[in-house]
Structures are given as structure tokens and as C-alpha cells.
Amino acid sequence: MRLFCFPFAGGSASAFYSWSAHLPANIELCAVQLPGRETRMREPLFDRVAPLTRTLADTLAPYFDKPFAFFGHSMGAIIAFELARELRRQGQTNLKGLFVSARVAPQAVVRQRPVHQMTEPELIATLRRFNGTPEIVFQTPELLDMLLPMLRADFAINECYTYSDEPPLDIPITVFGGTGDTIVDARELDGWAQQTRRAFQLRMLAGDHFFLNTTQPQIIQAIVHSLHTAGSE
């Protein structure tokens, strides 16, 4: 089985590289590198979900030849969800599970000021509150100049997303949340239950919006357990 991982806003495939050491031999890590970062720095950024998921569906198609699952954190959650729906439209049946974290349910109406439209000082202040960007980035103008355009595009993916009503997915969904997350609370996460006909589970873990960085073993353990359970059914 393959586990495809989609990063948060400003993140990249390297955020998941350490996961491979903790996954069993029968689950292959596939950390997805989106355009405009790290090894794909020179490629144009996407700022909307639909064209990105269509491109991902085409590009990753050769890797969907065996059972697989998706994991996405924050922005990555909505990418994983919409890619799952795109693959369903195409008749793909090898997707066995969806794991999302730190993102309100797709159908929820978000009424907060769009981060991607903020001025540079406001954007930097917001990033500091999110606690997901290393301090060295804020102290290095060259790094900041590279990061901010990517962040604006990534936040636009998340904030300009428009939900369209479709039947629930026919796969289990597991949602992870941080008990100290001031951006997304458990009630908003629980709305993901409406997006599946199968098993739904909400797991709250200690930490803020980036609990992903401090609870990696618990997340991986939950994913592995869920995939093995699905595989035995």
C-alpha cells in the first residue's frame, strides 16, 4: 500500500521524509512535492484547488496501481479531499482511506479575514502566531522573499476553496486535531463525518495548529492501525 502525504501552506515533501522510518515495510511513503518549492522551485505556483487536483490526478496516476491512502495537514487536507473526489469521478477504486488534520470540514463556511490578502507585515505577524515557520526565516530577508509568494498562493488554495455538494466518499475518514489549536476546534473538525459513508474517527492530540511536528508517532500509529484494519476487512 502507498501513503501519499500532502503538505500544509508553505510546506514541502521534506516535512514527511522522517515518516518512512516509522512506517511498516508494507506501507510505502509517497511525500508529494508541489510546484514552487524545494526541488520544484522554478515551477509556477498553483493558487486554486481544482486545477491542482486535476494535475495531481494525471501526474500521480501511474502510482495508483495498488491500494493507497491520502494524508493532508491543513491546506494539504483540502487537496487530499478534492483529489479523492476527482479520482472517484474517474472511477479509481484503489483509494482505501483519507486522513486529514488541522482543517475545518470542507462544507463549513469560514468567516475570517483571508491571510493571502494581508499586507506583508500582517502576513508575517500571522505566521508567527501560527507557530509553523522557523524563526530563522523571519531573520533572513532572502528566505522570507522566497517564502512569502509561496505562502500567499498556498493560503489562496485554502481560502478561495468553494465546496460543491457531492455524495459522501465510500472510504473511512480519520481526522486529527490539536487540543491547543486556536485556528480549528474539535466542533469544526467533527463536520468531516458528513463526508464519508464508512467509519469516521476524530482524534485530538496535544499541541497547537502544528501538532503534526510534535505528535508524529501517534499520527503514524493511528494511520497504520486504520490501514491494517481496512486491509483485513
Integer angstrom CA distances of residue 222 from 180, 205, 227: 20, 11, 9
Q: What is the pLDDT of residues 23-44, one digit of tens each?
A: 999 999 999 999 999 999 999 9
Higher pLDDT among residues 152 and 120, named by residue:
152
Rounded to whole angstroms, the Cα distance separating 53 from 202 reads 25
**Per-residue cell: 76:** 494539504
Residue range 2-232, CATH number: 3.40.50.1820
Residue 112 has pLDDT above 80, yes or no: no
Q: Report which residue type is found at 122.
A: E
pLDDT at 45: 97
- Mean predicted confidence (pLDDT) in 205-222: 95
pLDDT at 232: 53
Residue 73 near residue 8 (C-beta atoms within 8 A): yes
Rounded to whole angstroms, the Cα distance separating 73 from 35 reads 17
Q: How many of the other CB atoms lie within 10 Å of CB of 202?
A: 15
Residue 204 has pLDDT above 90, yes or no: yes
pLDDT confidence band for 113 (50 / 70 / 90): confident
Q: Report which residue type is found at 121.
A: P
18 labelled catalytic: no
Residue 93 three-state SS: coil
Q: Cα Rg for the chain, rounded, in angstroms?
A: 17
Closest CA to 71 of 229, 199, 216, 233: 216
Percent of the chain with pLDDT over 70: 98
- Mean predicted confidence (pLDDT) in 198-209: 96
**Per-residue cell: 229:** 484494519
- Mean predicted confidence (pLDDT) in 169-178: 98
Residue 46 has pLDDT above 70, yes or no: yes
Closest CA to 223 of 111, 75, 71, 107: 71
Residue 202 near residue 209 (C-beta atoms within 8 A): no
Residue 205 has pLDDT above 90, yes or no: yes
**Per-residue cell: 60:** 500521480
Residue 231 has pLDDT above 70, yes or no: no
Of the residues 74, 164, 226, 232, which is catalytic?
A: 74
How would you class 218 by CB atoms within 10 Å of its CB: exposed for 0-12, middle for 13-18, buried for 19 or more? middle
